[in-house]
Structure 1
Amino acid sequence: MEAPNEMITLSYILEKLRLKKWDNEFRWSPEGFHSGKGKNYQPDELQIIKTYRFEGSTDPADSSILYIIEAKDGLIGYSLDAYGVYSSHDDEEGYDNFIRAIPEKNREEQLTFEL
């Protein structure tokens, strides 16, 4: 488990995901999240199991958000986006609405999730 005062970086989390073989990137398309394993997922087939926010120390454009996501078929991976106004998903009916439709584990469950 991460120490409470330890600085967690995006590269650190991505490396932990890679070591667990959870480095499957869910990529947005109008058909849903594509896993890279040949399958598209809809929000009701997914659950956000942990969310990390990273803030750039000198440039707000470096801020990002990482969602760790589990599919109902057991596939665990992630979706990464710039945070706030720097989001690269600016289509009105797209990524933002899709990610909001994915159910999240409650806060206590997220706190007990370990990489």
Structure 2
Amino acid sequence: MQEQKFHYATVTEAIAKLKEQGYTHEFSLEGDYFKDGEETFKASDFEIADLYRYEGPSDPADEAIVYALVSPAGEKGTLVTGYGVSTDEATIETLKNLHYKYQQGRQD
């Protein structure tokens, strides 16, 4: 049986539902590392399990992507980033590699 993919109505709802699924780390991206409090994880060790894109109805600054990230060691967490005008080049480059892994996994 294939798992059905949902698109949650808001960023807050997506994060809450992902937490229920075990995505308990709340990552921030610092260079090539994900941080959650004092814990640091190498970004290249993670793959994107899913992502949810949100567009602001009137303000491009409201655009965000929620990433569900998982490592082979079983670490799971979320990362929320802006996109479009809200994203910096370093974030784009780091996530581009993870996004490729996500696309590659979806083609199998």
TM-score (norm. length: structure 2):
0.76
Paired residues of 1:10 and 1:54 also in contact (CA < 8 A): yes
Pairs aligned (count): 102
Helix, strand or coil for the counterpart of 2:17?
A: helix
> Structure 1 79/61 Cα, relative in aligned 2: closer, same or farther at 3 Å?
same
Gaps of 5+ in 1: 110-115
1:86 counterpart residue number: 86
Cα deviations by residue, 1:34-70 (Å, 9 ceiling, x for unpaired): 2446232131x11101111001112221111111110
Partner of 1:69: 69
CA contact (8 A) 1:24 1:36 kept: no
More helix by share: 2
Q: What residue is the counterpart of 1:112 in the other structure?
A: none
The letter of the residue matching 1:13 is: A
- Separation in structure 1 between the aligned mates of residue 14 and residue 83 of structure 2, nearest angstrom: 17
- In the alignment, the residues of structure 1 paired with residue 107 and residue 67 of structure 2 have an alpha-carbon distance, to the nearest angstrom, of 16
TM superposition outliers: structure 1 runs of 4+ over 4 Å: none
SS of residue paired to 1:22: coil
Q: Identity of paired residues, percent?
A: 25
Assess, with a 3 A threshold, how the Cα gap between structure 1 residues 41 and 80 changes in structure 2: closer, same or farther.
same
Q: How do residues 1-115 of structure 1 correspond to structure 2 at under 5 angstroms?
A: 1=4, 8-36=9-37, 38-43=39-44, 45-87=45-87, 90=88, 92=89, 94-102=90-98, 103-105=101-103, 106-107=105-106
Separation in structure 1 between the aligned mates of residue 48 and residue 8 of structure 2, nearest angstrom: 22
SS of alignment partner, residue 104 of structure 1 = helix
